[in-house]
Every structure is written in C-alpha cells, then in structure tokens.
Amino acid sequence: MQTNVIPRASHRIARRLRVAIILCASWCAAGTIAAQGAPSAASDTGSTSDAGSMASMSMSMDGALMNAPHMRMTKLTAPAPGDSARAAAVLAALRGGVAPYTDYHRALADGFRIFAPDIKQPVYHFTSMRRAMVAMVDFDPSSPTSLLYERTGDSSYRLVGAMYTARKRASLADLDARVPLSYGQWHVHTNFCLPKLGDRARISERGADGRPLFGGRGSITTEAACQAANGRFYPQIFGWMLHVYPSATDPATIWGRDAMHEMAGDHD
C-alpha cells in the first residue's frame, strides 16, 4: 500500500488553495468589510433585499448560477422554511468559533498560516490546511477554513471575518445544506490564465487595449487565448468558498455579498 498518497494529496490541495486564496484576497474591497460592531437584532442573519444590486454585474445566468469572466457564483434563492433559523445558527456558531482568534497570535499557534504576507492586500487569509481537508467531507460552522484579517500596522492584524470552503464538485444542494443559498453566495474562481513558471514578471503585462492579460482582472478568459499568450490556464481553481463577516451590521456584508459584487466586476 502506498503510504505517501495522503501527504501528496494534502500538498496538492495546499498548493491549489494557496493560489485560490491569493487571487481571492487580491480582489476583496476593503470598504466592504470595514463596518464592524454588534449586529442589530433586525439584521442579525441578513436578508435577500439586496438581490437587485447584483443585476449590475458583468455576468451571465446559468440556471442557479451566475457567471462572471473569472468567477462562478450561486444565485440568491427565495428563502425556504427554516432558512432563517439555519442561517442564525451558522452565524452564532461562527461567532463563537472565531472569538478566540481576535489575537492573531492564537491563530498562528493553532496552525493557521498567513498566505502571501509580503503582498499588500485589503484582507489577509490565515488558513488551516487541516480544516481545509476536513471541510471537503464535513461542515462545522464553528470551524472555518480561513480567518480573515486586516493589517493594522507593519506586523499586527485585526480579525474581520472568516471563509468556509467546500469541495470542487459540491452540488448546490450540498452548499445549501451548509449555508442556505438564500443568505450566502458561494463562489469559485474560474478561467484563469497565469504566466508560466519562471515568467512571474509577466503577471503585470497588458494587452493592446491597456487591460491586464493575466489573473483575475485579465482579459484572457479562454484556454486558447491563454495558450496563445504562452500562459497556464486553470478552468477552475480549487473548490467553493464563502466569506462571512460576523461582526458586520449590514446583511449584505455579513454574508459577503458586497465582496462578491466587487470581485465579479469585470473592470480594472
């Protein structure tokens, strides 16, 4: 029996998650997570009243999914019986689960790793690979895969949220069973073209129209165009993700919907 299969799989997942997190982190708008404080009773679990704001996105509809050039998202659904209670339970569990990590040193001591600390980001993902593996087969709302921090100084961080993950092939029913799709909008990053290994300097390269060629804001969205640009194409990077900001007061911010709107926009 091959005893190194699991370690190899773990390393492979870690590499993919690292790429996904860096790309995701580079997109998050600082303004969407700035609102902090005790949530009001009226908006504790959020609502679907802001669904219309998604209409301005540069994306197409595909059944229960929305497709942007570099992202696929679940659509907000009509609330089903029990959704409000389930969402409230997830939020309560998450608040309790992340409370010990207001001091980021505790997160580091518990095995969370900071991804790309040397890259300036609005939000820094502290990620547990052990939790990422567990999240592929199980869901514990008090145990998110990543903790989200804002940097408050040269080496200090402030906890602002968390990120749940699910396996790449999770169905809509699987995602809804974790967090009701009437509250949270799960997303995956798609159609990425990156420079080949050793060509990292090309990441900032722009086309004749002045737009970036590579990455989450890149104009390249197909494998053929990526090959023509001598890049590496990723149809989908890792699995499903959901950002939650449990201390925010605005429903759209609590469930990360404002951040998704910002990330899905096809603009520089």
SS3 for 203-217 is HHCECCCCCECCCCC
Residue 30 belongs to a domain: yes
pLDDT in tens, 107-118: 999 999 998 888
pLDDT-wise least confident of 77-86, 99-108, 190-199, 240-249: 190-199
Residue 43 belongs to a domain: no
CB 29, CB 122: distance < 8 Å:
yes
Residue 44 belongs to a domain: no
pLDDT the model gives residue 237:
81
pLDDT the model gives residue 20:
54
Of 238 and 161, the structure prediction assigns the larger pLDDT to: 161
Residue 217 belongs to a domain: yes
pLDDT-wise least confident of 100-104, 174-178, 201-205: 201-205
Mean pLDDT on 29-56: 37
Residue 56 belongs to a domain: no
Query: Which range in 30-34, 61-65, 230-234, 253-257 is most confidently predicted, on average pLDDT?
Result: 230-234
Residues in the chain, total: 268
pLDDT the model gives residue 141:
98
Mean pLDDT on 208-231: 92
pLDDT the model gives residue 260:
62
Q: Exposure string (b/e) for 33-50, b if CB count within 10 Å is 16 or more?
A: beebeebeeebbbbbbeb
Residue 165 belongs to a domain: yes
Of 52 and 255, the structure prediction assigns the larger pLDDT to: 255
State the total domains in the chain: 1
Residue 195 belongs to a domain: yes
Report residue 47's pLDDT band, with 50, 70 and 90 as the boundaries: very low
Report residue 25's pLDDT band, with 50, 70 and 90 as the boundaries: very low
Beta strands in 51-209 (DSSP E): 60-62, 65-68, 71-74, 113-114, 124-127, 146-151, 157-166, 187-195
User: Residue 177: pLDDT above 80?
Assistant: yes
Bridge partners (DSSP) of residue 236 are 190
pLDDT the model gives residue 69:
81
pLDDT the model gives residue 98:
98
User: Residue 266: pLDDT above 50?
Assistant: no
Residue 28 belongs to a domain: yes
pLDDT the model gives residue 51:
36
pLDDT in tens, 138-169: 999 999 999 999 999 777 999 999 999 999 99
The separation between CA 192 and the C-alpha centre of its own chain, rounded to angstroms, equals: 15
User: Residue 127: pLDDT above 90?
Assistant: yes
Q: Which of 253, 238, 256 is nearest to 21 (CA)?
A: 238
pLDDT in tens, 2-18: 444 445 555 555 555 55
Give the structural domain span for 138.
Answer: 5-35+61-264
